[in-house]
Amino acid sequence: MLKLGDKIIVVGDRYEQNLPVGEYGYIIAYDRNTDSVFEYIVRVPQVNRQFYVSAEDVELEETLLSLEADRIEREALIDYALATRNEELFRRIMNGDKEVPQESEKEVQSREDFIRQVNLKAWI
């Protein structure tokens, strides 16, 4: 739940009420009507109006700025990995910083074992 006075950005127009998507605004009140789908009343200074909005249509400015900073950092790391041809860094970034499993050394089968396994599978 957003607090009164929080600076928000309008990110959607779910109920097609001509909200100024991309503009910033401030939470000025809660809509306490239980029959309404709107949770907040938002003041948008750019258009000099108040709007009834649902929680899905607005997002805190701080949250959007941190998401954008993370995206830019990730893109910069990808560019650096490509420029330096650092395959390990590139794979780690693309896989979401998960540990890359090391390829285990497979035991080399002898020719007879391979033929025995093929014959066994063919017989079954």
Residue type, 50: Q
CATH number at residue 15: 2.30.30.40
In a domain, 111, yes or no: no
Residue 80 lies in a domain: no
State how many domains the chain has: 1
Question: Could you tell me the residue range of the domain that residue 33 belongs to?
Answer: 7-60
Cα Rg of the chain, angstroms: 28
- Tens-binned pLDDT, residue by residue, of the chain (124 aa): 889 999 999 999 999 999 999 999 999 999 888 888 899 999 999 999 999 999 899 999 999 999 999 999 999 999 998 888 888 888 888 887 665 455 545 567 777 887 777 777 776 5
Measured between alpha carbons, how far is 14 from 61 in angstroms, rounded to an integer? 19
**pTM score over 0.85:** no
Please give the full DSSP string across 22-58, using - where no structure is assigned. T-EEEEEEE---TT-S--EEEEETTTTEEEEE-GGGE
Q: Is residue 88 part of a domain?
A: no
